[in-house]
Amino acid sequence: MKRFSLILIIMTGMAFSYTTQAQTDISPERKRAIDSLAMEKIRDLGKYISIIGNKQTPFSEAKRVIDRTLELFVEEAQMGVSSLSREEVIYYAIREYLERLMLLNYDKVKIEWFNIQYISDLELQPDGRYVGVITIFQRFEGTSDDGLIYKDVTKKDITVYVERKQTQIGGKLIGFWDVLLGDIRVVETTK
Amino acid sequence: MIFAPAIFFLLVFIPCHAQSQTFGDFKYDETALYAETKQVNQFFRRFNGEEDKQGERLYEKDRDFRTYKLRKKYVPTLFNLESSILNDAGKENFSELVLDKDKPVFLDFHGGAWLCELNTLFIYEGREQELTLFLVLQEEVVGSKWVIDGVYFEPFYDLLKKPDNSNFNDSKFLHPLSHEVGFMNIFRVFNESDSLEYFGNKYFQPDYLSLFFYEIKKGRLEFKTVKDLKFHFFQIDGWYFELTYFNRAGYNSGWLISNLLEIDEKNRDILLNYIYHE
């Protein structure tokens, strides 16, 4: 019995080290594909924010888009916002942030992207998922019906979680990389 | 703005796709965004020569990966060029060491010997108070994580001092025959809370991190928010540098070396103690 347990431990250990090795091994080509997927999700986020913040969007539609937006995120993701005048971070749950945006009710919302972004390396975290941070720069312009314009340029550091998952297609197990967004740090820039 | 040779290198480096962008009536110069060292991760890449002219990640198989030529261009741009603390001689000696053609020195994210100093706000005794956390990256069986390595909180330090054992205290003690009276005299220890530490053994060192966890668990210390952060690097033999984020216009911005010191082993420990307020 003892002998059997030992063999089991060794086999488990081997399987574990294999998993660990496999997890730390993301080729540059794979990394580029994951980066594209993550950027696609971030672009979707930008698109949804424009819809939610726009006054022309009916309330029910905005609510539906908020739900769609939340699907991009892991649970309990937060938005941490600081400005040039206040370095302390103010935290908002993503839903709360989006609902506040909806209530701001700008007549027109324009979100412009800069061509510059920075995508970090992916680091393995203790739960076996990978984490990365993508930095983007955005210009926000909200025009209210009385013609007042609010605008800012912000740097957004967006957490990205990457996980290897499997799904069954036609009786076959197919592996795929799932990307979800996490906490976002928003910093007003001086540039 | 200071126009240093390092900036010139950076301007030469800026890719042609990073130019000014126009949003309606709003014109924006993207070159500054390109030049900014946007993440600590990018600081590592640029320092090590793992990013090409287009800002793309370089891998071992790539021709320019970690080349002297690439690093020679990047390293000078990674200093805060608007600082009077950083002197040219120090920067030159440091750069000479890390860019040595035969024995180049690189930074390693998982190499240890660097830490984060995070300034936060907590609510304690009814008011907001600053509290500094020291975090280090800890390797795990799978992956890695940041862990709290120390804390500096003034109210803890004011109340629970590290006793100065360099001077023998000849009035605060329990006499050696106290046991014969069943330590009935121990009440004197607790009469004066200010001198309590003198009654501890000579190796006593207050553990502020335990105190920090205890006060949070008791509900007396409540997290409010994070303020700012910087990093202390001891990874390069004989040198210490500090990394700070500069949110400013221009090409010399983002995560930059804000302090640089040549230090020996002894001064390294002194500096570490200073950082940790020990």
Confidence of residue A15 (pLDDT cuts 50, 70, 90): very low
Q: Which of residues A157 and B201 earns the better pLDDT score?
A: A157
Compare CB distances from A88 to B28, B30, B225 and report the shortest one's residue.
Answer: B225
- Token pair recorded at residue B172: 């605060």
Give the pLDDT of residue B25. Answer: 55
DSSP string for residues in B102-156? SS-----TTS--EEEEEEEEEEETTEEEEEEEEEEEEE-SSSEEEEEEEEE-HHH
Q: What is the domain class of A27-188 according to CATH?
A: alpha beta
Mean pLDDT (chain B) is 90
Distance CA(B208)–CA(B133), nearest Å, equals 11
> Is the pTM of the predicted complex or chain greater than 0.80?
yes
Q: What is the mean pLDDT of residues A123-127?
A: 96
User: Phi-psi category of A126—alpha, beta or left, where left has phi over 0 and alpha has psi -120 to 50?
Assistant: alpha
Q: Say yes or no: B53 contacts chain A, CB-CB below 8 A.
A: no
Under 8 Å CB pairs connecting chains A and B tally to 97
Domain regions of chain B by residue span: 5-112+234-275, 114-227
Query: How near does any CA of chain B get to the CA of A110, in Å?
Result: 10
Residue of B nearest to A137 (CA): B33
Cβ distance B33 to A137 less than 8 Å, yes or no, reads yes
Cβ distance B144 to A28 less than 8 Å, yes or no, reads no
Q: What is the mean pLDDT of residues B161-171?
A: 67
Give the pLDDT of residue A33. Answer: 93
Interface residues of A toward B, Cβ cutoff 8 Å, are: 20, 23, 28, 31, 80, 84, 87-91, 110, 112, 114-116, 118-121, 123-128, 133, 135, 137, 139, 141, 151, 153, 155, 157, 187, 189-191
Q: What's the ipTM?
A: 0.86
Q: Say yes or no: B187 contacts chain A, CB-CB below 8 A.
A: no
Query: How near does any CA of chain B get to the CA of A36, in Å?
Result: 13
Distance CA(A21)–CA(B80), nearest Å, equals 39
pLDDT at A13 over 80: no
Q: Which of residues A3 and B79 earns the better pLDDT score?
A: B79
pLDDT at A2 over 70: no
pLDDT at A19 over 90: no
